[in-house]
Each structure stands twice: as C-alpha cells, then as structure tokens.
Structure 1
C-alpha cells in the first residue's frame, strides 16, 4: 500500500509512522509513505500557501493552487489510482468499518489542512472523502493523518505477527453482535499473583470454553458500562442477556474475580 501525505509538515506524519506496527510494515515493504509540502509548489519569494478568507473573519485559508499542484505531483508519482482523503472535523467520523474498507485500497492521498481550513473549491475538485477522528478541533490534519495511517496499516496482510489479534480488537468483526459491537475484554499477563491483584482463576485453568464465556461476559459488561451507545441491549440474544446478568450480579463477574 502506498500513502502520500500533503502537508506543511509532512515529516511529522512520517516520524509518527516510523515506529511499532507501522514502522514494521514499512520495513517489510508492505507500506510506503511519501510526503509532499504544498509550499514547494507555491509561487513568489515568500512561498505563500494561505490568504485571508473572503467575507471577512479570523484566520487564514489554504490556497487552491499550491495544494492542487502537490496533489497532482503525488498522483503522477505512481500510476495506481489514488483515493484522496481530507482530514477534517467536518468529515464523516472514522470507524473500524471504514478503516477496513480503506485498508483494502492500493493507494491513498491524505490532505492535511491548517489554519481555518482549505479553500472549498479545492475540496470539491480534488477530494474524494472527508474524514474526522472525533468531535473536536486540532491545529491541523497531521495527527488525524497519523491515526488513519496506523489504523489502516495494521490491517494489511502480513503487518501483524499474529493476524488473529486484529480480528479480536474492539469494534472489529469478531466483536459484532446483534444490535451493535463490543469493546474488548480485559487482558492479563505474568505474574499471576501481584500486589495489585490476581489474574482471574478462569484464565489460568485451561478450560477454553469457560475462558471464552468469561471474555464474552466481560466484553458485554464493559461495553454497557462504558459505551452504552454501542449496543442496543433490547436486541441481545438470550445467552448474552444471561451473561450480562452474571456480570451485573456482583464481584464474581468482574475483572479480577
């Protein structure tokens, strides 16, 4: 997969994508990243990339021509068609379903805005999709771009050492239930006994059916406690209702029990 980043600070996204899973994907040749600075395509001695908004108001707006030239250069660098994403608080909220779809693409161009945003004409002419990582405002699109790169890269085949770990994450297909999705269950590792608490006995017994049942119970309970917006409790199956009742019954269903 190839990802091109249009940004006044392309080295920022490149640095974020140089570690951990994404860094490993790049080392293995499963992901390539390329930065394009619109200032390199701006005219004049000052290489200006922004100007005041028509109609008045605070802040500056990024100019059409430098951005369009940078996108054109990115497109021409590889013959594969590129899906252009503008990272914007006005975009669709990024979720795991959309991440899976984007991970299947061979190429993306990520457009990172700054200041008050990008001239709307550029968005209309060049952008395929606007995406947001949350209902809040950041100084620019670089952090959202780094988030999107990480989320997409880890789903590419061969990136994770254990591919099954991705399918068991929160919001993934294996977490889907009737009427919503589940958050992940609690996880533990060595030592089994610690001053901060003990690992639940069910995880130490080797009974895989009981372990699966416990994990399902924890995922149900945790989701309804922390993110009740993710699940329609009225649509739970009888089996899941029973597990949820067990979780709510008391300490025996809670993590650490």
Structure 2
C-alpha cells in the first residue's frame, strides 16, 4: 500500500514514519509512505502557498495552484483509490474507516494549514474528507500521521501477530477487555484467576463479558 502525503511542513512528518511499526512496514516493503513538499509546486518566486481570503476575514487560505499542480503530477504516475483531505469538518475517523482504507492500494492525503484550503481543491480533487476529532489543530500533518498509523497496522504482515489487530478495541463494536501479564501478583493485586486457568472457552467468555461491561460504562453510545 502506498501513501502520498502533501504538506507544507514535510519535516513534521519525518519522526512518525521513522519508528516502530510504520518503519518496519516500510522496510518489509508492505507499505510505502512518500511525503511531498507543497512549496515545490508553487508558481511564484517566493514559493508562497497562501493568500488573503476573498470577502475578508481573518487568517490565510492555501491557494489552488500548488495543490492542483502536485495532485496532477502524482496522478500521472499512478491511479489513486482515494484522495483524502484531513479536516475538522470531515467524517470522524473510526475503526470501520481504517478497515476500509486498509484494503486500498494507493491513497493520497492532503494536509491543510493556516485557515484552510481553497474550496475548489475540495470540489475538484478530494474524494473523502476525514477528521480525527471535534477540535482544531494547526495543520493536517498530525491527523495524517494518525490516519496512516491506524491503517497500516491493519495490513497483513505488518504486525508480528496478525490476529492482534483483529482483537483491538472497536473491531467488534466493543472496547477491549482488561489486559494482564507477568507477574501474576503485584503489590497484593492478583491477576484474575480465570486468565491462569488454561480454559480457553471460559477465558474468551470472561473477556467478552468484561469488554461489554467496560463499553457500557465508558462508551454506551457504541452499544446503540
């Protein structure tokens, strides 16, 4: 799977993709992540990518030409299953969306900055708009990193234990059950005996009950 990320701040994305699972996925050749500097596609001598909004108002708007030039250039090299714009007014990222995207082949991600981007980019190029929550960040770079991480870990071969992602919170509509590992007793607190019983059926039943109870307490909206 390939991600092409367009941003005015490529350095902000160097670290998230250079460690842990995302790095291993790239080394294995399972995922490819390319970051493109939007200023390289600016049409003026100053390499500026923003301008004042028509109609007045505060803030600066990212202009049409740099995005259009970069998108069109990338599209000459491959077809894209999705062109995603990270924006607070998009659909909220969840596990279902991550699952959908994990079976795609080529995905382009646009990172806004300043006040936002010219609506004509959204109208002409964007196929999906995604938010990471009901709040505003300085730009779309961190949300893009979140999106890529959520999707890449689902691709077969990325995780050492491929069943691990299938048992994560939200995969079955529930939060995950409490988790324990060694030691079996710590500061007078013992691991629930059922987890030490070796009875796979009873352990699975216990985990489901715990997941259901935790979801009722913390995210009852998921049960609806």
TM-score (norm 2): 0.96
Higher percent of residues as strand: 2
Q: How does 1:214-253 map to 2 (within 5 A)?
A: 214-232=206-224
1:7–1:113 Cα contact (<8 Å) kept: yes
2:80–2:108 Cα contact (<8 Å) kept: no
CA gap 1:72/1:11 in 2 versus in 1, 3 angstroms: farther
- The alignment partner of 2:155 has SS state of coil
Does 2:84 align with 1:92?
A: no
User: How far off its partner does 1:14 sit?
Assistant: 3.6
2:101–2:151 Cα contact (<8 Å) kept: yes
User: How far off its partner does 1:196 sit?
Assistant: 6.3
1:11–1:35 Cα contact (<8 Å) kept: no
Segment of structure 1 superposing worse, 107-116 or 210-219: 210-219
- The alignment partner of 1:35 has SS state of strand
Counterpart CA distance in 1 for 2:141 and 2:18 is 14
Higher percent of residues as helix: 1
Q: Please, what is the CA RMSD of the aligned residues? A: 1.2
- The alignment partner of 1:91 has SS state of strand
Q: Which runs of 5+ in 1 are unaligned?
A: 176-180, 233-257
1:63–1:118 Cα contact (<8 Å) kept: yes
- The alignment partner of 2:96 has SS state of helix
CA gap 1:196/1:119 in 2 versus in 1, 3 angstroms: farther
**Number of residue equivalences:** 224
Counterpart CA distance in 2 for 1:110 and 1:134 is 17
Runs of 4+ with deviation above 3 angstroms: none
User: How far off its partner does 1:13 sit?
Assistant: 2.2
Indicate the residue corresponding to 2:118 in structure 1.
119
Choose which of 205, 209, 222 in structure 1 pairs with 2:201: 209
Q: Which runs of 5+ in 2 are unaligned?
A: none
Q: How does 1:1-257 map to 2 (within 5 A)?
A: 1-76=1-76, 78-172=77-171, 175=172, 181-195=173-187, 197-232=189-224
Counterpart CA distance in 2 for 1:67 and 1:191 is 54
User: How far off its partner does 1:128 sit?
Assistant: 0.7
TM-score (norm 1): 0.84
CA gap 1:52/1:196 in 2 versus in 1, 3 angstroms: farther
